[in-house]
Chain A
């Protein structure tokens, strides 16, 4: 089938655990790319370190597997030198918001055109289930056996406040919504963030007695609601899904191009 042309099938079956949401994100991502009709040569995927970041290895685009938290910095360099490419940066919650928190807010502030996918499983899975900045108060992890006391980030609010011009949230249960939001994020001309709640049955699910992958997907079904729904008014603890921010703002590469032209014309005038 057509989606297989985007895969490096020699590396399958992939390393992710049974029921890991990251595989569903990979699945949705290639379907979004296929529906846009993008060729493999037009896409660069840049990832950092973690379970989520293994996604670049499975995709047959231009791919870079870089330093922990620094994927957006590498991606900024690529986008500035070749603005015609579509740059997609899949990151885990820790990769994006702990180790790479600084790169995340500054990429958002610059509004550089790329798609940041935050695959939020609320845990550091690869290293054994340590709590992350997205775990949340009261949750347990390998490093928080008596419950975590660190409050979590609201990724959508953080990205919006930092200046991202497209911000959305979805889950691995709502796959059609996920494909649509990734698609819109890729089309958006500016820094776009899609937070995808992605289940980690091996660590987050097990440590918090949430059951396996199926129970965790049911949790996404029951505990999330479309943005602005009546259900949210009745139960403020529900997590909202949808598009939180979508505005047209000056994009970084186009602004940079203008400055280059200004500098070049000033330079040629002084020579005359």
Chain B
């Protein structure tokens, strides 16, 4: 399966409180805090579209949109959850 591709990474500045969680745990070091202590994507070309920043953001300020690719819409993370759930607690 091909890797997910980033369509857009959006940061809602008024909601961001500058905790730095996204900056510290981005595996590709895409994000930094600016002079106003708000997260910005300074190296967007390095983004691997893992969505971890959006998932961990306590302020729900980050949105990662994945580009749809040939019949392959769900990102790997979502796919894994769907597969696990099939053998889950209630069939």
Contact = CB atoms under 8 A, between A and B. Distances in A.
Interface of A: 1, 3, 7, 12-14, 16-24, 26-28, 31, 35, 166, 172-173, 175-176, 179-180, 183-184, 187-189, 201, 212-214, 217, 246
24 contacts: A3-B60, A12-B15, A12-B60, A13-B14, A13-B17, A13-B59, A18-B18, A18-B19, A19-B17, A19-B58, A21-B58, A24-B55, A24-B56, A27-B57, A31-B55, A175-B52, A175-B55, A180-B85, A184-B88, A187-B90, A189-B90, A212-B20, A213-B21, A217-B21
A178 B21 CA distance: 17
B89 A188 contact: yes
B32 interface: no
A19 B21 contact: yes
Interface in B54-91: 54-61, 63, 65, 77-78, 80-82, 84-85, 88-90
Contacts of B85: 180, 183-184, 187
A212 B59 CA distance: 16
Contact of A16 (B52, B58, B61, B78): B58
Interface of B: 14-15, 17-21, 24-25, 52, 54-61, 63, 65, 77-78, 80-82, 84-85, 88-90
A180 B77 CA distance: 10
A255 to B, nearest CB: 18
* Majority-rule SS of A interface residues: helix
A173 B52 CA distance: 10
A197 B60 CA distance: 18
Given A13-B14, A188-B89, A28 B21 contact: no
Nearest to B55: A175
Contacts of A179: 55, 81
A188 B59 CA distance: 29
Contacts of A214: 19-21, 24-25
Nearest to B17: A18
Nearest to B58: A23
A187 B89 contact: yes
Contacts of B77: 176
Contacts of A35: 78, 81-82
A245 to B, nearest CB: 11
**8 tightest CB-CB pairs across the interface, nearest first?**
A23-B58, A19-B19, A18-B17, A175-B55, A214-B24, A18-B19, A13-B15, A188-B89
A126 B60 CA distance: 21
Given A13-B17, A24-B56, A172-B56, A217 B90 contact: no
B89 A246 contact: yes
Output the residue of A16, A175, A188 with the most chain B CB within 10 A: A175
Contacts of B57: 23-24, 27
Nearest to B74: A35
Contacts of B54: 27
Given A12-B60, A35-B78, 7 more contacts: A14-B59, A17-B17, A20-B58, A23-B58, A28-B55, A173-B56, A175-B55
A180 B87 CA distance: 13
Given A23-B58, A176-B55, A180-B81, A212 B19 contact: yes
